[in-house]
Amino acid sequence: MVQLEQPEQTRTISTTDARDVAIMEHCIELSYNCEVSPTAFSVGSTLFLPSSSSQFPILKSRFPLFSKIDGAEPQGLILADGWSRQIAGNTHAEANALTNFRKVYGELLEGTDSTTSDLPPIENVLADVSCYATMEPCSVRTSGGPSCALELVRSKVNSVYLGVEEPPDFVQCEGVRILQDGNIEVIRVSGLEEECLKAARRGRD
């Protein structure tokens, strides 16, 4: 079921679709890989390519297939996972997922055998990608690092699914507005807000 909601400043779409819930649950699991920090959230993120994408037949043998039910027809591909502080430094989940995907895809493109000659440009793939994240992508960082929302806009992904809006624990987040200003659709996966916040604040009293 999909319904429109009207927050104070932005309009987002809310979904309880089983596929989206299952991918967000996967992201919650990823968030428990994070090294806990008293001054930062623990977030999990996944780059997902739906089976409806024209890139799916080309890439399905090169990335993990995803299905919400074991043995069922795959609904897409997990192109990359990321979580907070996965990469050295005060790194964020969505940026790490993008970095991980670019690294793997770059290695595929560098291959010289005939099995990689049909690979599309990475921009064509990202144009069909949905980024799932347990929390709203950041707009401002106290560390001065790059904004994940801006990184997603620059990458020109198709859409962003979030588990919960970022609470004002550290900064006032405007990630949804930045994404929408960049013509990226934002969808909130309903029903997992408490789990996402619990995972995000792990290690903090």
Write the CB contacts of 86 (distance below 8 Å, at least 6 apart in sequence).
Answer: 33, 34, 93, 96, 100
Residue 94 known to be catalytic: yes
| Cα 149 to the center of its chain, rounded Å | 10
Torsion-angle region of 131 (φ positive above 0: left; ψ -120 to 50: alpha; else: beta): beta
CA torsion through residues 70, 55, 128, 157, sign: positive
Strand partners, 187: 13, 161
* 57, 58, 145, 170 from 160: Cα distances, Å: 22, 23, 20, 22
Strand partners, 131: 47, 160
Give me the residue label for tokens 């806990």: 36
Of the candidates 8, 25, 94, 123, the residue annotated as catalytic is: 94
Give the residue numbers marked as catalytic.
Answer: 94
